[in-house]
């Protein structure tokens, strides 16, 4: 199949705080978005790499030192919600793309081997995502009271990339739009159509930089790698 990846970087990073939008925050001398692009361009299966940024960040993007790879497309402008940004990215892909991966720039250190595994799974099954086992016992809570405790072994933390046959994802996105449904990830749009989404065990190191503690953790990991023998 002919694959592309949409790289989502149009959020504001409110939980991270600070003045700089999250995707443009520096981590060890490189901004998160550039790190994510480097990782994704490392996978030769992607024929098109589509960044999605906010209009307010056009100048910031133009000032980046970007990888000189012809597969890196011009950025498109995202929307108010993550799902709107995905839609903008999807609309920008060439017609011949029939497999689409969606990735958060905030997961800036995804391994190429994991990307390859989730792409292969989606090619075969139609839909797949990377996910990591959840270390804590998960509680389903309503009004500060526990409703139930799902079996921890059956709980996985969804990561990205999430990868889909383009036609399946486009249909799921259209249905979500028609129903006024906003998902926090892409797989759930496909799940609600009743289509199976395959889980590919990923690396806990592919965590999303959400709050300051995540950035500190990423800095720590990077520093440790830098001093490794
Ligand atoms: N994203 C996007 N467009 C939006 C919202 C989010 O492209 N309208 C992207 C973010 O840039 C990020 C990814 O989706 O790479 C995951 O979202 P999240 O971690 O929530 O990032 P932000 O929305 O930027 O952070 P916050 O929710 O704390 O404001
Ligand atoms: Mg957000």
- The protein residue with its alpha carbon nearest to ligand 1, atom 10, reads 11
DSSP secondary structure code for residue 28 in this structure? T
Give the ligand 1 atom nearest the CA of 211. 28
Give the ligand 1 atom nearest the CA of 23. 11
Q: Which among 129, 75, 103 is positioned nearest to 5, based on CA atoms?
A: 103
**Model pLDDT for residues 147-197, shown as the tens digit of each residue:** 999 999 999 999 999 999 999 999 999 999 999 999 999 999 999 999 999
- pLDDT band at residue 229 using 50, 70 and 90 as cut-offs: low
| Residues with C-beta less than 6 Å from any ligand 1 atom | 8-15, 22-23, 52, 78-82, 85, 104-106, 208, 210
Q: Which two tokens stand for residue 157?
A: 């933390």
The backbone torsions φ and ψ at residue 51, rounded to the nearest 5 degrees and listed phi first, read: -75, 145
Q: Are 160 and 129 spatial neighbours (Cβ–Cβ below 8 Å)? A: yes
Q: Which two tokens stand for residue 75?
A: 């950025």
**Model pLDDT for residues 111-160, shown as the tens digit of each residue:** 999 999 999 999 999 999 999 999 999 999 999 999 999 999 999 999 99
Between the CA of 226 and the centroid of ligand 2 the distance, in Å, is: 30
Between the CA of 160 and the centroid of ligand 1 the distance, in Å, is: 13
- Domains recognised in the chain with CATH numbers: 3-225 (3.90.550.10)
For the full predicted model, state whether its pTM sits above 0.75.
Answer: yes
C-alpha dihedral over 132, 190, 174, 71, to 10 degrees? 50
pLDDT at 227: 73
Name the pairing type of β-strands 156-165 and 145-148.
unpaired
- The protein residue with its alpha carbon nearest to ligand 1, atom 25, reads 13
* CB burial of residue 194 (10 Å; 0-12, 13-18, 19+): exposed
- The protein residue with its alpha carbon nearest to ligand 1, atom 23, reads 11
Q: What's the rounded Cα separation, in Å, for the pair 222 and 26?
A: 12
Cα dihedral 92, 54, 202, 133 sign: negative
Between the CA of 117 and the centroid of ligand 1 the distance, in Å, is: 24
């Amino acid at each position: 199949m002919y694959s592309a990846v949409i790289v989502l970087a149009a959020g504001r990073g409110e939980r991270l705080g600070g003045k700089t939008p999250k995707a443009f925050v520096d981590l060890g001398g490189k901004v998160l978005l550039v790190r994510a692009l480097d990782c994704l361009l490392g996978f030769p299966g992607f024929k098109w790499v589509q960044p999605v940024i906010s209009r307010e960040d056009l100048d910031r993007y133009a000032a980046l030192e970007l990888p000189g790879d012809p597969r890196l497309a011009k950025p498109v402008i995202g929307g108010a919600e993550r799902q709107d940004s995905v839609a903008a990215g999807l609309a920008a892909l060439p017609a011949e793309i029939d497999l689409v991966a969606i990735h958060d720039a905030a997961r800036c250190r995804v391994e190429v081997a994991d990307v390859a595994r989730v792409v292969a799974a989606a090619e075969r099954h139609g839909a797949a995502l990377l996910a990591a086992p959840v270390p804590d016992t998960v509680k389903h809570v309503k009004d500060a009271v526990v409703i139930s405790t799902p079996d921890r072994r059956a709980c996985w933390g969804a990561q990205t990339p999430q990868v889909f046959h383009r036609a399946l994802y486009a249909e799921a996105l259209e249905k979500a739009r028609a129903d006024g449904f906003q998902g926090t990830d892409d797989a759930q749009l496909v799940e609600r159509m009743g289509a199976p989404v395959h889980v590919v065990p990923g690396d806990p190191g592919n965590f999303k930089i959400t709050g300051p503690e995540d950035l500190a953790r990423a800095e720590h990991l990077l520093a440790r790698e830098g001093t490794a023998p």
